[in-house]
Every structure is written in C-alpha cells, then in structure tokens.
C-alpha cells in the first residue's frame, strides 16, 4: 500500500505480484483504488502489481487500465 491515508481497523496491507499476493500486514480487507470500497480478502481477484492497487471487480480494473493508458 502506498497511500498516505491511515489504515482502517481490519485493513490488510498486501504486496501484489503476478497472480498472487503476499500479506505484509494481516487484515480482513483491502481498499479498491477506484471505488474506495472495502474488498474482503477472500473476494479479492483483481489487482495491478505494477501500480500496487486492488480493484473491487473487472469494471474497476478496466476503468483504471484505460485511465493509465490515456
């Protein structure tokens, strides 16, 4: 996580890799970089290892990809 915002209670910190992630600080959820929604770790399927961001779903991941390519 590279945000300057303080962590919420229960928020995990992850290191995103290609197809997997490592837990740097245990927690129950991460924050979507696009929507700001909490994503339970068991539901996390979309992230970007280059930007170290998590996304709530395919729509958010696609929107961020388009924004980065613009």
pLDDT in tens, 26-44: 999 999 999 999 999 999 9
Does residue 32 belong to any structural domain of this protein?
A: yes
Sign of CA dihedral 5, 15, 13, 39: positive
Average pLDDT, the chain: 94
pTM: 0.89
| 4 falls within a domain | no
Return the DSSP state at 23: E
What residue numbers bound the domain in which 54 lies? 13-69
Whether pLDDT at 66 is above 60: yes
Q: Has residue 25 got a pLDDT over 50?
A: yes
User: Count of domains in the chain?
Assistant: 1
Residue 5: pLDDT band (50, 70, 90) is confident
CA angle centred on 4, ends 19 and 24, rounded to 5°: 40
**What are residue 68's DSSP bridge partners?**
none
In this predicted structure, the answer to whether residue 3 has a pLDDT above a threshold of 70 is: no
The radius of gyration of the chain's CA atoms, rounded to the nearest angstrom, is: 11
């Amino acid at each position: 996580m590279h945000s300057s915002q303080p962590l919420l209670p229960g928020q995990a910190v992850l290191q995103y890799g290609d197809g997997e992630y490592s837990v740097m600080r245990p927690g129950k959820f991460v924050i979507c970089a696009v929507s700001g929604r909490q994503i339970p770790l068991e539901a996390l399927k979309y992230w970007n290892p280059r930007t170290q961001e998590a996304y709530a779903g395919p729509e958010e991941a696609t929107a961020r990809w388009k924004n980065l390519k613009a």
